[in-house]
Amino acid sequence: MKQSHALVLGCLMALAQPAAAGETAAPSPAAPTPAAESGRPPGWLAVIPAYTHQFDADLDGSDASFSADRWRLDLGTRLPLSDALTIAIGLEGEWSHYSFDGLGDDVFGLNRDADDLMVAQLGALAFYDLDDTWQLVLGGTVSWGGDLDADFGDGLGGSGLFGVAYRFSPRFSVTPGVLALARMEDDALVIPVLGLDWQISDAWRLRSIGPGAELTWKAADSWSLFLRGLYRPRDFRLAPDAAVPSGVLRERTFPVSLGVEWSPTSRVSATVFGGAVFGGSLRLTEADGQEVFDDDFDVAPIVGGSLRVLF
């Protein structure tokens, strides 16, 4: 079943707690184009550094505001084990620096400028071709998110995914599935998910990328434009000596961006984009799940970019 698996792996990686891809939504490194289609040997490596800046956003519940800088690095590979079975493995890391204004020296149990919050995630997916039309998908992730001084065990999370891909044609496929998530200080979540990959024409493509979608227009051989909308959850376990000891800071955002991708070779591509974060919220809970606050924040502009290198 020669197709890209990015829609399935993107769903798994982006939904899994506590980690979530940055607003760059760099293509999932563990689900690149199959080697038979790209001319690359099996077992290659993708490296994707990315950066996003979110400008000041006002919190609804106070006179405070904050901005955020995020640095991200994704690594991934595909390992064909047989003609029918392929394993995809991805490692993701994201570092977030929040700068608050108007809330004094201590903010929600963090320092005023918090630059040591991170999420990291290791995921794997197995793809098994039943025939040229049907494919089974099974995988999971182990993740960690929090202040670097937080207790390691308290920041752990994970997920599991089972799906069945059906290829209607070489240009259109869907992957319905079920995703199970373990969440910090909250009940486990089991939800249905749907992957989509539709090559509308030689120039236009619509695909799901995790909990969101991307429309791409290939303007020239080396240039593409894209419109992207995503749901981005982030959970951070706080340090034991924070104002809210071992609490959980949750951020939920819906970034929408318009960008351009330049691919001078088949192994190198770069993107730049601009857009805005909609529907953002920050929530702080104590270690036992008791809510301290839950505030929405205003629409905030974002800019950023990414680089992808295939080895």
Joined together, the tokens standing for residue 34 give 């199959």
Whole-structure pTM value: 0.82
Distance CA 127, CA 86 (A): 5
pLDDT tens digits, one per residue of 5-30: 443 445 444 333 333 333 544 333 33
Q: Is the pLDDT of residue 46 over 50?
A: yes
Q: Is the pLDDT of residue 58 over 60?
A: yes
CATH 2.40.230 fits 6-310, yes or no: yes
Give residue 183's pLDDT. Answer: 76
Q: Is the pLDDT of residue 114 over 80?
A: no
Q: Is the pLDDT of residue 100 over 90?
A: no
Give residue 108's pLDDT. Answer: 59
Query: Cα dihedral sign for 186, 188, 189, 195?
Result: positive
pLDDT tens digits, one per residue of 252-277: 999 999 999 999 998 899 999 999 99
Q: Is the pLDDT of residue 48 over 80?
A: yes
What pLDDT band is residue 120 in, cutting at 50, 70 and 90? very high
Cα distances from 10 to residues 81, 120, 123, 218, 310, in angstroms, run 21, 15, 11, 21, 18
Report whether 9 contacts 57 (CB < 8 A): no
Give residue 303's pLDDT. Answer: 98
Joined together, the tokens standing for residue 30 give 């563990």
- Please give the average per-residue pLDDT across 52-79, as a whole number: 90
Distance CA 254, CA 32 (A): 25
Q: DSSP states of 132-191 as a string?
A: SSEEEEEEEEEEEEEETTS-TGGGEEEEEEEEEEEEEETTEEEEEEEEEEE-TTS--EEE
What pLDDT band is residue 111 in, cutting at 50, 70 and 90? low
Q: DSSP states of 201-264 as a string?
A: SSSEEEEE-SSEEEEEEE-SSSEEEEEEEE-EEEEEEPPTTSSSTT-EEEEEEEEEEEEEEEEE
Distance CA 238, CA 108 (A): 10
Instruction: Provide the mean pLDDT of the chain.
Output: 82
Q: Is the pLDDT of residue 305 over 90?
A: yes
pLDDT tens digits, one per residue of 172-222: 999 999 989 887 777 788 988 888 999 999 999 999 877 789 999 999 999
Q: Is the pLDDT of residue 225 over 90?
A: yes
Q: Is the pLDDT of residue 32 over 80?
A: no
Distance CA 197, CA 4 (A): 8
Give residue 5's pLDDT. Answer: 43
Q: Is the pLDDT of residue 68 over 80?
A: yes
Distance CA 126, CA 195 (A): 16
Provide the residue ranges of all domains of the chain, joining segments of one domain with +: 6-310
Longest CA–CA separation in the chain, Å: 61
- State which of 245-249, 251-255, 285-289 shows the largest mean pLDDT: 251-255
Q: Is the pLDDT of residue 230 over 70?
A: yes
Query: Cα dihedral sign for 23, 213, 30, 123?
Result: positive
What pLDDT band is residue 138 in, cutting at 50, 70 and 90? very high
- Looking at residue 19, what DSSP letter applies? -
Distance CA 212, CA 231 (A): 6
- Looking at residue 36, what DSSP letter applies? H
Joined together, the tokens standing for residue 149 give 């001084």
* Residues 289/156/78/29 CA torsion (nearest 10 deg): 60
